[in-house]
Amino acid sequence: MNATTTLPRTTARDLMSREVVSVDSDMSMSELATFLEDGGISGVLVCDHGGQPVGVVSVSDIASASTLNGRSPDTAVSRAAFYSQSWEAEFDDYDIEPMRIEESELAVGDVMTPEVVAVPADAPVSEIARVMLEQHIHRVFVRQNGEITGLVSTTDLLSLLAGRGEER
């Protein structure tokens, strides 16, 4: 069986990673950076003190926050503009120094994306891909019976397309 014949039948439930990692919204940015690096992951679910999901934070959010230079997130560069900028020409060593995460007083809740994008467990792969493309995101969470039960990343989708989905 190849990825082409598997693709139409594959659902979020089939493809998702069942281990959903989360962090508290009050975690510091330096703690988050260490957590992501140690876990070898690029993003994570953010929960409040009651364990309820309140958002998602990723390395893109960290990078966006580091470019604020004292401005509020509302007046900062838009996400689309952030991805389209040519950073090499924009910064020198003097500019980069204030961007150090260790110097930030921001918490995860200050920089997270305050939306948890989720699909039903029976969502087909085409719907997952469509949501990721429309939302410009690299992961969607899977919801079943009102609870987050897993997540599908772009790596999961690419593994399926490369014919490795059945090896999971």
Q: How many CA atoms lie within 13 A of 39 on its CB side?
A: 17
User: Which of 136, 133, 110 is CA-nearest to residue 55?
Assistant: 110
Going from the C-alpha of 37 to that of each of 13, 57, 58, 69, 144, the distances in angstroms are 27, 13, 11, 24, 29
Asked if residues 150 and 16 have their Cβ atoms less than 8 Å apart, the reply is: yes
User: What is the spatial distance between Cα 64 and Cα 44, in angstroms, rounded to a whole number?
Assistant: 16
**Burial environment of residue 152 by CB neighbours within 10 A (0 to 12, 13 to 18, 19 or more):** buried
156: number of Cβ within 10 Å: 23
Q: What is the pTM of this model?
A: 0.72
pLDDT of residue 70: 46
pLDDT for the residue numbered 8: 61
pLDDT of residue 35: 93
| Superfamily covering domain 3-167 | CBS-domain (3.10.580.10)
pLDDT in the model for residue 60: 85
Question: Mean pLDDT of successive 10-residue segments in the chain (168 residues)?
Answer: 59 95 93 91 94 93 70 47 48 54 73 95 95 95 96 93 65
pLDDT given at position 3:
47
Name the residue ranges covered by the structural domains of the chain: 3-167
Q: What is the pLDDT of residue 111?
A: 92
